[in-house]
Amino acid sequence: MAQKAARGGLFLFVGNAISTVILAIGTIIVARLVGPSGYGLYTVALVIPVFLVSLSDGGMNFAVVRLPARLRSEGNYARANMVLRLGLLIKLTSSTVAFLICYAFSTAIAAIMLNRPELAGLLQLASLVILFQAIFDGTNNSFIGKDLMQYSARAQIIMSILKCTLGPALILIGFGIGGAICGYVLALAAAGLTSAITLFGKSAHSSEQTSYSVSKELRGLLAYGLPLYFASISNIFMTQYQGIVLPHFASNIEIGNFNASWNFNALLMILTYPISMAIFPMFSKMDPKNRSGELARAFHLAVKYSSLIMIPASVAVMVFSRELIYLVYGSAYSLAPRYLVWMSAIYLLAAIGYTVLGNFLNGLAETKTVVRMSVLAVALYVPLGPALALLWGPYGLLVADILSTATSVLYGISHISARFDARPDFRVSGRILLAALGAAVPTVGLIQFDGSGIGVFNLVGGGLLYLALYLTFVPILGAVDRQDILNLRSLLAVTPAISALANPLFNYESRILSATKRKAREVKGTSTHGVP
């Protein structure tokens, strides 16, 4: 299971990283071609459709991962395919209703909600995003539930290439903002429909009949999906709430710097998305009653290995925040690096299970706990956000986000510790954090040689130094041992190309471990020399 998760995670990482870069390029091209005013209208026209995409999901994005994965692990392939089709049907039905509402009331929505009556026609065109995004998301999550992550990665890349090329091409032809929106819709349609054809082609070989009724499967899908749907709505609310609170306590310059920093979250999301989505089907296949020991160990190792990636990545973004912001946005965004430091800090919570816990609970169908965690986070953030923003401006909102998220995660950890005897190893997490911070100190000293903060030397030279120091400190501090090296080699063995790239790192870690052990023996021998 772990090998499949690692292999799938690598596919998702590559697909997500490539598509993120391509989409960023496409966004810059569109923004330059239509100008600030046109780009503003383009983003406003997509606000309601993109919001309705999340609102019409009904939790099916989670359901089509967990339920088919669990059924397939039991050998019930026909029932898994049936559940998958019903989940996609529910998602498509609710998305069709949302599309019809957006399309029919586009004039009123444009005039009243958006305060842009002239956007009614563009909003009608943009409403097609609701339909095709539903198809794209549903089929790609279904690939994950069927352990076909490579097809999900391929679809992401195809969609990003089409979105990056079709929109700018239609603008250049003369279709303006409408062309940009049309390119967005066509990219989703082509990638989504192609994925759907591939998905059902992969499921067509199963001719086995299942005795389960459609109504019973529908009840199971809704019982699992709806609680997670309400939890996701809470997360959407927090994002929108932040956008409402910020203008009351920050200047336009501060808001601009804050949003510029927020865009860099994509750097860390490139890492968190494949980790969380790859382990989702793995935990879905595990029976907490019959495999409780394996389940607890799987959670412990998942937190450890994700922390080995996320904690140093978070610290690295903090260390190079000035370089990253200035290279992309310029030195005019002088406040953004400090905001980025605080935004990145939330990923340090990987040490207590932040990147693993949600899909661990989703995989075990502990949906009520996920809802309670979301409610707790919202209940804390709603009063804390404005209170801390009044004191510290945008920094207050970021601190409120970290505190509410940490409290929610700790509540979830206490629940799974009592119910499944699963918990992170906080001592190991502390050692990983110490290794990352220890590597950061000399790196910060090095990059101070370039006072401008925009030199390539800072990122390349400093990045290599940070990586070398981190890889050295991790085994010395005892954050990894020989068993971890064996585990990681085994996990990556299913992807020979990645394994070949990682082997020199594993060999280096092994040599450090050997040297550390030899030094410890020498010190022990010296300390006992001459003692009778």
Tens digits of residue pLDDT in 125-139: 989 999 999 999 888
Burial class (CB in 10 A: 0-12, 13-18, 19+), 57: buried
Closest alpha carbon to 505 in 484, 526, 520: 484
Gap between the Cα atoms of 320 and 456, Å rounded? 11
Average pLDDT over residues 481-504: 76
- Of 206-210, 259-263, 448-452, 483-487, the one with minimum mean pLDDT is 206-210
Per the CB < 8 A criterion, the answer to whether 289 and 247 are in contact is: no
Average pLDDT over residues 462-491: 86
Q: What token pair was written down for 351?
A: 């040490």
Per the CB < 8 A criterion, the answer to whether 458 and 323 are in contact is: yes
Side-chain-side CA neighbours of residue 276 (13 Å): 21
Residue 442 has pLDDT above 80, yes or no: yes
Closest alpha carbon to 309 in 282, 270, 283: 270
Gap between the Cα atoms of 271 and 355, Å rounded? 10
Note the pTM of the prediction, 2 decimals. 0.77
What's the pLDDT score for residue 530? Answer: 46
DSSP structural state of residue 250: S
Q: 3-state class of 415 per DSSP?
A: helix
Per the CB < 8 A criterion, the answer to whether 5 and 289 are in contact is: no
Q: Which is more confidently placed, 44 or 442?
A: 442
- Of 152-166, 312-326, 356-370, 462-476, the one with minimum mean pLDDT is 356-370
Query: What percent of the chain clears pLDDT 70, i.e. is strictly above it?
Result: 84
CB atoms within 10 A of CB 110: 22
Gap between the Cα atoms of 462 and 319, Å rounded? 9
Confidence tier at 427 by pLDDT (50, 70, 90): very high
Phi, psi dihedral angles at 469 (to 5 degrees):
-65, -40
To the nearest 10°, report the CA torsion of 189, 191, 193, 197: 170
What is the 3-state composition of the chain as percent helix, strand, coil, each rounded to the nearest 5?
85, 0, 15
Residue 467 has pLDDT above 50, yes or no: yes
Gap between the Cα atoms of 293 and 297, Å rounded? 6
Q: Which is more confidently placed, 374 or 277?
A: 374
Confidence tier at 88 by pLDDT (50, 70, 90): confident
Gap between the Cα atoms of 417 and 361, Å rounded? 12
Gap between the Cα atoms of 3 and 495, Å rounded? 9
Gap between the Cα atoms of 285 and 59, Å rounded? 19
Gap between the Cα atoms of 327 and 264, Å rounded? 12
Q: What token pair was written down for 250?
A: 């920050």
Most confident of the following: 73-77, 238-242, 363-367, 526-530 = 363-367
CB atoms within 10 A of CB 297: 12
Q: What token pair was written down for 173?
A: 């032809």
Calculate helix-pair angle for 149-170, 128-145, nearest 10 degrees. Answer: 160
Residue 245 has pLDDT above 60, yes or no: yes
Per the CB < 8 A criterion, the answer to whether 139 and 195 are in contact is: yes
Q: 3-state class of 366 per DSSP?
A: coil
Calculate helix-pair angle for 394-420, 336-345, nearest 10 degrees. Answer: 10
Closest alpha carbon to 149 in 21, 14, 53: 14
